[in-house]
Amino acid sequence: MATGSRAGGRRKAPALAGLVRRLEGELRKLVERVRRLEEQRAEAVLPPLPEADADGYYPAVATLDALVARQIIMRRRKAGWSQVELARRAGVRPETVCRLETGKHAPNVATVDKLDRAFREAGV
């Protein structure tokens, strides 16, 4: 009886290994899908760029503010930091980072330098 159970166990091993390989493949696909969805969600929360006027021109200051905000958000996310962590590393207040990331406030040169230095030190 013990011999028969071993033979049955040997037949089950290749089938089980095949099942494991298929499940691992499915898991890799799901992980990739989640990563893509997270990227799409992250893009959706970026400040919108202003609309063009009737002549097709974009308001320069508002467009620049939005572009700067988008760059700060993308670099911060790439570094894996929260707004508070970026503020700490850059030596600015968390409220400053929040205001800049909304795109409704423009940073001064000193603040841009501090943020850029923090990003560069992190390799971002």
| CATH T-level topology, domain 60-121 | 434 Repressor (Amino-terminal Domain) (1.10.260)
| Banded model confidence at residue 105, pLDDT cuts 50, 70, 90 | confident
On the question of pLDDT at 18 being above 70, the answer is: yes
The pTM assigned to this predicted structure is: 0.63
Distance between CA atoms of 48 and 54, rounded to whole angstroms? 18
Distance between CA atoms of 90 and 99, rounded to whole angstroms? 15
pLDDT of residue 45: 79
Full DSSP string of 30-82: HHHHHHHHHHHHHHHTSPPPPPP-TTSPPPHHHHHHHHHHHHHHHHHHHHT--
For residue range 50-95, what is the model confidence (pLDDT) as tens digits? 999 999 999 999 999 999 999 999 999 999 999 999 999 999 999 9
pLDDT of residue 2: 52
| Banded model confidence at residue 36, pLDDT cuts 50, 70, 90 | confident
